[in-house]
Amino acid sequence: MAALDQAGMPLARSRLAAVLPGEVNLVIGLAIVLLAIAVAIAAPLLAPGDPYEQSLAARLLPPVWNERGTWEHILGTDQLGRDYLSRLIYGARVSLTIGLLTAAISGLIGVTLGTAAGYFGGRVDTIVTYLVTVRLSMPAVIVALAVVALVGNSFMTIMTVLGLLLWDQFALVSRSMTRQVVAQDYIVAAKSTGASTFKIIAREVLPNILPMVLVVATVEIASAIMVESSLSFLGLGVQPPTPSWGLMMSEGKEQIFFTSWLILPPGVALFVLILGINMIGDGLRDRLAPSE
Amino acid sequence: MLKYTVQRLFLAVAVALTVSAISFFLLRLSSDLARTLAGQNATAEQVENIRQAYGLNRPLITQYFDWLGGIFSGDFGRSFYFRKPTADLILERLPTTLLLGFLSLLVAVIVAVPFGVAAAVHRNSLVDRLALAFSALGQSMPSFWIALLMISAFGVSLRWLPISGTGSWLNFIMPVAALAFAAQPAILRLTRAGMIEALGTNYIRTARAKGLPRSLVLFKHALRNALLPVVTVSAVQLGQLVGGSVVIESIFAIRGIGYLAWESILRTDFPVIQSILLIVSVIYVLLTLVSDLLSALLDPRLRNL
């Protein structure tokens, strides 16, 4: 019967129920991400120690809940005797910076291309769609690995390469949203009053597609953070001794036979941050289309 | 359909050629091949000799067409490190990666499609919540972290599963699980959304009103329509699995092309990196070509480019 219930009365039941989870997602997601940003900014205040300071005498100390653990090193120390909690806290800076700046670059490329394709249509649309197809056909992780390895793995290179790779969803979504907006009466009206193309795009199109662009931004920030951690994990991303969660996991992997808990803190941190970002995206999406 | 097929084929060839050009120029402009080959302590003269010997002093565009011409006759160049034809290396390793990708996709579909259908049918129920949570986990947990957790639990602590190599089918359990877990969210969400949409359509209402049994309506009418986009996304996922298995292959020491790509990047083995980029792209192009043609065959409305 459930199938028919839904087919018959989609409104009464699902509206109410669907809006609420959207709100929950948004609130929890924002709480997680704002907390991560606060931790990243206040890292020097919050970190109990220096994330770079090595100590041969204090290598691989266990976390505080272990019987041999101490409050001096709450999450213990890594193979070089560096305070693990401090490295974890500073690692938030790497992930967030790369995530946000990469999405800024890819957003600029993708929204520009997508809006142009949706607004002008015709040949511009064909070219942009073709570029998106080409981009999707290239394996992002391998390309990023290769270019970062060849050019040299500075922070700037990683962000630029990822930014140049992860713009496809921005382009696709702003293209289809722009097409919908352009078909509206107020655009036709604006055109007939002689408003310039630039003005119409800046004043009418962009504000209208912005909410969906933000949804895509959450997806791309999350995937930039994920790809950066993969690159660093493979040893071709952020370089030691910079504390990056992916790098910490690759160092933890070396110790997996002896001190297996080392892979937990950076993994949990990555997972929770990405989950938070995705929850914001899901919450926004539910708000934009409550019936979906 | 014929016109669409021809157009779609033409597009596929154009995309593959563009990708080949981009990967060639991207890699070659990123660093100086002659210097890499000569090594770090080489003198300027030695670098220049290598440039001459390998024809690297010619315009890049000429070198590109040489490389492309070679590919059409099956010559992908020789690996600097392995000192054998790149084509042989890739052919040796490709089956492992394809098997890994195919198994992962299969597991992802087997888990995600029924879960997605159940979630759509019992919308907003506990099953639905669980399905959405499951897909959120798959989206947010980095696959290499899942792999490490499994290695730590099933490999190191319990000693149930081997943690590296491809000696037996047991070796594939953890890598397939890690990759499938990352591939399932897209399939699950699409199945769920497609089923919800299908269940809300008039033909389903009519079918139910005629008194057809619920299971028949669900599986014959609704699922069939909901699965069409799932076929497309599965093809895309398989393409991404082949390109994205680098990390998993390197963790589990699986000698597929992902692992080969990683090794070759570390050794700046240009001919191998270039060829892998091209082949992974061509696999993706072929998969999307086949899925687009299949979709167009099933749904004539899609026969417009």
What is the reported pLDDT for B305?
Answer: 61
Residue position matching structure tokens 């995206």: A281
Give the mean pLDDT of chain A: 86
Q: What angle do CA B179, B182, B187 make, to 5 degrees?
A: 115
Q: Does A40 score more than 60 pLDDT? A: yes
Beta-carbon contacts of A9 under 8 Å, excluding residues fewer than 6 positions away, are none
State both tokens at A185.
Answer: 């009466």
State the pTM of this model. Answer: 0.89
**At residue B78, what are phi and psi to the nearest 5 degrees?**
-110, 140
- How many angstroms separate the Cα of A146 from the Cα of each of A247, B29, B260? 18, 12, 12
Q: Side chain identity at A274, as an amino acid letter? A: I
Most confident of A255-269, A273-287, B73-87: A273-287
pLDDT of residue B296: 85
**Are the Cβ atoms of A134 and B242 closer than 8 angstroms?**
no
Task: Give chain B's largest Cα–Cα span.
Answer: 86
Contact B271, B76 (CB under 8 A): yes
- Pick B30's closest partner by Cβ from A147, A236, A256: A147
Question: With contact defined as beta carbons under 8 Å apart, do A252 and A4 qualify?
Answer: no
- Write out pLDDT tens, residues A42-67: 989 988 888 888 888 878 888 878 78
From A26, A125, A232, select the one nearest B247 (Cα to Cα): A232
Give the pLDDT confidence score for residue B302 in this predicted structure. 75
Nearest to B218 among A3, A18, A147 (CB): A3
Check B151 against A257: CB less than 8 A apart.
Answer: no
End-to-end CA distance of chain A: 21
Do residue B246 and residue A142 have CB atoms under 8 angstroms apart?
yes
CB A95 within 8 A of CB A37: no
Instruction: Give tens-digit pLDDT for A187-219.
Output: 888 888 888 888 888 888 999 999 999 999 999
Question: Is pLDDT of A224 > 50?
Answer: yes
Size (chain A), residues: 292
Chosen from B7, B11, B145 to mutate, greatest number of chain A CBs within 10 A: B145
Give the residue on B whose Cα is nearest the Cα of A258: B156
CA distance to partner chain A, nearest, from residue B243 (Å): 5
63-92 of B, contacting A, C-beta below 8 A: none
User: Which residues, including other chains, have CB under 8 Å from residue B132's CB and lie 6 or more apart?
Assistant: B119
CB contact at 8 A, B204 and B223: no
Query: What would the mean pLDDT of A166-170 be, rounded to a whole number?
Result: 94
User: Could A260 and B156 be called an inter-chain contact, meaning their C-beta atoms sit closer than 8 Å?
Assistant: yes
pLDDT grade for A245, boundaries at 50, 70 and 90: very high
What is the mean predicted confidence (pLDDT) over A31-37?
Answer: 96
CA–CA separation, B192 and B210 (whole Å) = 25
**Cβ–Cβ < 8 Å for A266, A225:** no
A15, pLDDT greater than 70: no
A6 has a pLDDT exceeding 50: no
Mean pLDDT, each 10-residue run in order, chain B (305 residues): 89 93 87 78 83 82 89 85 90 93 94 93 91 93 93 89 85 94 93 88 82 79 82 84 88 93 90 91 91 83 71
φ, ψ for residue B172, nearest 5 deg: -85, -15
Confidence of residue A11 (pLDDT cuts 50, 70, 90): very low
Q: Are B249 and B262 in contact (CB under 8 A)?
A: yes
Average pLDDT (A102-121) is: 95
Arithmetic mean of pLDDT, A30-38:
96
* Residue A8 pLDDT: 42
Res. A2 pLDDT band, cuts 50 70 90: very low
Least confident of A2-6, A75-79, A191-195, A279-283: A2-6
Q: Please state, as a whole number, how many other Cβ atoms lie within 10 Å of the Cβ of residue B176.
A: 22
- Whether B156 sits inside 8 A of A133 (CB atoms) is no
Contact status of B277 with chain A (Cβ, < 8 Å): yes
pLDDT at A290 over 60: no
pLDDT value of position B52: 82
- Residue A1 confidence (pLDDT) above 50: no
- The helix/strand/coil state of B73 is coil
CB A216 within 8 A of CB A169: yes
This model of the complex carries an ipTM of: 0.88
Q: Give me the phi and psi of B85, to 5 degrees please.
A: -60, 135
Taking the alpha carbons at both ends of chain B, their separation in whole angstroms is 12
The pLDDT value given to residue A267? 94
